[in-house]
């Protein structure tokens, strides 16, 4: 088993060259949407904590997986219909541009849920 990367920079650097630009772009979108989220590695992949679980991502052979806790995917399924999804997973094919605006929207929606949970 490969050693888990120590931080997100190391994770991106260890990725295949052809995926690195997309991973950097995804990271930038997350950080811009959630500037106060804490970034670290969890389960061997980049993880962002904003008042609880916000989002994870990882690359695979043919896609970049974005993992966002429910009910975000269900709430946005009409906008996600062109992507392969599961309850907490969206797969963005490597041969297509990342839907930056949509990703931002999903992250902001999750932040609102985490804000509301913390207020309770």
Please list, in sequence order, all residues whose beta carbon lies within 8 angstroms of the beta carbon of residue 51, skipping any fewer than 6 positions away: 111, 114, 115, 117, 118
pLDDT greater than 80 at residue 22? yes
Question: Mean per-residue pLDDT for 87-108?
Answer: 97
Tokens of 77: 């399924």
For the chain, what are the domain ranges?
A: 8-119
* Residue 62 confidence (pLDDT) above 80: yes
Q: Quick one: fold of 8-119?
A: 3.90.1150
Closest C-alpha among 110, 95, 77 to residue 18: 95
d(CA 10, CA 7): 5
Place of tokens 């500037």: 35
pLDDT bucket at 45, cuts 50 / 70 / 90: very high
> Has residue 54 got a pLDDT over 80?
yes
How many whole angstroms separate alpha carbon 108 and alpha carbon 102?
A: 10
């Amino acid at each position: 088993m490969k050693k888990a990367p120590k931080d997100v920079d190391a994770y991106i650097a260890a990725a295949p060259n052809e995926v690195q630009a997309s991973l950097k772009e995804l990271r930038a979108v997350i950080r811009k949407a959630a500037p106060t989220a804490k970034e670290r590695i969890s389960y061997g992949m980049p993880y962002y904590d904003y008042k609880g679980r916000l989002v994870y991502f990882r690359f695979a052979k043919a896609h970049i997986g974005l993992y966002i806790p429910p009910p975000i995917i269900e709430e946005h399924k009409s906008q996600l219909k062109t992507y392969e999804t599961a309850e907490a997973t969206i797969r963005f094919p490597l041969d297509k541009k990342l839907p930056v605006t949509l990703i931002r929207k999903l992250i902001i929606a999750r932040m609102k849920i985490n804000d509301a949970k913390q207020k309770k």
